[in-house]
Amino acid sequence: MALAVPVVFHGLVCAAQARVDPSLPSAPLAHHRGLFIFSGYGTVYDPRAPVPPLAPRQKFELAFRRTVNSSTFLRAGFVSGFDEVASVGPSYGDGAHAFWQLYGYNVAGLASNELFTDGLLPTLFHQDPRYFRKGGGTVKSRIGWALRSEVITYNDRGAEMPNYSHMLGFGLSSALSTTYLPPQNVSFWNVMEGWGIKEAVDAGLREYREFGGISLLKRIRHRHEAMH
């Protein structure tokens, strides 16, 4: 099945110019600021320059930085508020105490996502957890590239391979969440639903990284500089 994935997207996307180059010396993990509730870590913005692979310790550093970033706690608050208003998500009861339990659940879910998809599994499978922007071409090709990256990624030597880290990582994170869910919310189908939701949200975030993240941030900065 994994071998058929590149065929599906054949002609829709081209390879990103930025490639993992194992001949390059290791470099510090780049720090890019994201926008509002999105962390800028884990994205290779320049599609023209080859990048060195991440050492195992850097993959865990990436997971740690994305976990402790303020965006994690803001996103958890946003999701918890939505769950509360829409009456979806785990049922912890009513009142402030129940809301903070829900908030803790969402923080833990985001943290376990990062642990599995950015640290543990990329190290185990020798994969690169970063997102490599295509950065140019038609809108259709860039949408396809972002979606393709959900199932195809680079290994530490720059060769393409199935993105086991994401496909398995979100499943493991969803399964782990059953240990801190209310008993009435624990079921196989809830795990599958959580897995699907995480995959869909991550796909949306990759589209944001491809199109909106850096360009929108630049426009805001330029406007701010023009006003001063």
Structure confidence by residue, pLDDT tens digits, 100-154 = 888 888 888 889 989 999 999 999 999 999 988 888 888 899 999 999 999 999 9
**Which position has the higher pLDDT, 63 or 68?**
63
* Span 164-198, pLDDT tens digits: 999 899 889 889 988 888 888 888 888 888 888 88
CA dihedral 49, 163, 42, 191 (to 10 degrees): 170
Q: Which of 132, 136, 164, 157 is nearest to 146 (CA)?
A: 132
Phi, psi values for residue 43, rounded to 5°:
-125, 130
Question: What pTM did the predictor assign?
Answer: 0.76
Residue 35, pLDDT > 60, answer: no
Residues in the chain: 228
Is the distance from CB of 28 to CB of 61 less than 8 angstroms? Answer: no
d(CA 97, CA 93): 8
Interval 213-227 mean pLDDT: 52
d(CA 110, CA 168): 15
- Residue 66 structure tokens: 């994305």
What pLDDT is recorded for position 118? 93
